[in-house]
Amino acid sequence: VIDVLRASSSIVTALANGAREIVPASSVQQALKAARKTGKGKALLCGERQGLRVRGFDLGNSPLEFTAKAVKGKVLHMASTNGTKAIAATSAAIKTYIACFLNVDCIAQKLCSQRKGVSILCAGKEGLFSLEDFACAGMLVFRMECREPRICLNDAAHAAYSLYKEWCLDLRRLLETSGHGQYLREIGMGEDLIACAQTNRYTVVPVFQNGRIGKAR
């Protein structure tokens, strides 16, 4: 699952900074209920609505908030508008990996090593297409093809690859051009675009299994 702005980028950053695990929720209510079970002291409530921290939550959905100081050793109950919903919707999959520009190479490596068919799910925005997610899918396809030149791509994968090639020299501009990127800048979160445009900053492979996201071994 790819949600460059910003759920995937926040999840990768949180795990890189020592979060114990992340429990993606489809709604704010679901996150509150699950956090009560985890218990005070261990749980952090994170997430956004319209890009802004949910009232009463500990953290929003900016990767810049997921510092080691904030998340180390904690269980994060996360409810974002599209990203965590998309992840939760894949609970029937054998395994779901969470990808973004920050960790795209190690995800490509993981997927190629498994030698299985892969579906890439772009979270998008409220059911609509997102430029940044599709371009990141294209980068993932590109990196997979570099490792496995004989992989078989469908038309959507070819299209994603072409889009990525168009923007690969300036991912920051890609994020600034995208609809959600423009919205985040309008609400004062332009710094997040710089954070989310970095490629391969982390070697973390988040895997969603049994309702929780942890680091894949």
* Separation in Å, CA 42 to CA 39, 76, 174: 6, 9, 37
CB of 79 to ligand MLT, least distance (A): 9
Beta bridge partners of residue 80, listed in sequence order: none
Is 3 an interacting residue with respect to ligand MLT (CB under 6 A)?
yes
Report which residue type is found at 34. Answer: A
Is 48 an interacting residue with respect to ligand MLT (CB under 6 A)?
yes
Question: By C-beta, is 3 or 105 nearer to ligand MLT?
Answer: 3
3-state helix, strand, coil in the chain (%, to 5): 45, 15, 40
DSSP 65: G
Task: Classify 115 in phi/psi space as left (phi over 0), alpha (psi -120 to 50) or beta.
Answer: left
What's the residue count for the chain? 217
Residue from the set 2, 6, 15, 38 that interacts with ligand MLT by CB under 6 A: 6
Is 82 an interacting residue with respect to ligand MLT (CB under 6 A)?
yes
Select from 5-13, 134-142, 158-166, 169-177 the region that touches ligand MLT (CB under 6 A).
5-13
Question: By C-beta, is 3 or 144 nearer to ligand MLT?
Answer: 3
Is 83 an interacting residue with respect to ligand MLT (CB under 6 A)?
yes
| Residue ranges in contact with ligand MLT by CB under 6 A | 3, 5-7, 48, 51, 61, 80-83, 184
